[in-house]
């Protein structure tokens, strides 16, 4: 009974958020999987505007291919990513992952299109600096695989809505959301939960009084 009630509430949550926020076209965030990987690494713990600036800076300095970034000087990458925060660490990760793709994967991530979901996911997770969220973003955004990435906003919103326990880890959150929603909704859920998290369900001083799903949330004051 609890699961069915949760599923019904999850449906109402999604419908309510969708009436408030626009869902971007997946084509606007997808594209070449390597470039999506680079942008995702840059975006970690970084505001969207600074992610965009850093990515644009990098694209002007270096050819955004595994070969181009593997052969680039790390100082050149650092200079481009300076506005993104944690730029030294991100620069080294981008260079290392580029070298690994070039050496171990023939310079391409195209296997994400042809390999089964779990096999492709395992390959991605073997790459330096690629964790579950980054792997799942590539698989959903670029290859259209039925997986729901959990970023910091999706994680926080899911817990405050009571869909998962507060101490739930990445895999528990992901699998629970994938049970509550249909695969065709995974991209929409990911993007809308992010929008809700940024606008209302903030980490600090959440705007409970203005939140559009306040009536569906057990965490409201």
Q: For the chain, what is the radius of gyration of the CA atoms?
A: 18
**Whether 107 contacts 69, CB under 8 Å:** no
Strands annotated E in the chain: none
Task: Identify the residue whose tokens are 């181009």.
Answer: 68
Query: For the structural domain made of 2-26+148-216, what CATH number should be given?
Result: 1.10.1670.10
Selection from 186, 165, 157, 89 nearest residue 129 by Cα: 89
Distances (CA, A) of 46 to 54, 74, 149, 200: 10, 20, 17, 18
Distance CA 139, CA 155 (A): 18
At the topology level, CATH places domain 31-142 in Endonuclease III; domain 1 (1.10.340)
Torsion angle of C-alpha atoms 58, 40, 122, 167, degrees rounded to 10: 150
- Domain segments of the chain as ranges: 2-26+148-216, 31-142
pTM of the model: 0.92
Render each residue's pLDDT in the chain as its tens digit; 221 residues: 356 778 899 999 999 999 999 998 887 777 899 999 999 999 988 888 999 999 999 999 999 999 999 999 999 999 999 999 899 999 999 999 999 999 999 999 999 999 999 999 999 999 999 999 999 999 999 999 999 999 999 999 999 999 999 999 999 999 999 999 999 999 999 999 999 999 999 999 999 999 999 999 998 76
> What CA–CA distances, in Å, run from 101 to 47, 97, 211?
27, 6, 43
Please determine whether the domains at 2-26+148-216 and 31-142 fall in the same fold group of CATH.
no
């Amino acid at each position: 009974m609890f699961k069915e009630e949760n599923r019904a509430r999850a449906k109402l949550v999604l419908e309510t958020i969708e009436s408030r926020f626009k869902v971007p076209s997946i084509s606007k965030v997808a594209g070449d999987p390597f470039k999506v990987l680079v942008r995702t690494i840059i975006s970690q713990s970084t505001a969207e505007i600074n992610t965009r600036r850093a990515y644009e800076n990098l694209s002007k300095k270096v050819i955004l291919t595994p070969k181009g970034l593997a052969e680039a000087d790390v100082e050149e990458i650092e200079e481009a990513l300076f506005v993104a925060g944690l730029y030294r660490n991100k620069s080294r990760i981008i260079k290392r992952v580029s070298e690994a793709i070039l050496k171990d994967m023939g310079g391409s991530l195209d296997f994400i299109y042809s390999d089964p979901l779990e096999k492709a996911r395992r390959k991605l997770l073997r790459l330096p600096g690629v964790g579950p969220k980054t792997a799942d973003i590539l698989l959903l955004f670029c290859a259209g695989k039925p997986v729901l990435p959990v970023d910091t906003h999706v994680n926080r919103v899911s817990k405050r809505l009571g869909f998962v326990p507060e101490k739930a880890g990445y895999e528990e959150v992901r699998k629970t959301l994938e049970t509550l929603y249909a695969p065709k909704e995974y991209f929409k859920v990911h993007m809308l939960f992010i929008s809700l998290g940024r606008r209302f369900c903030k980490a600090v001083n959440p705007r409970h009084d203005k939140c559009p799903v306040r009536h569906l949330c057990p965490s409201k004051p």
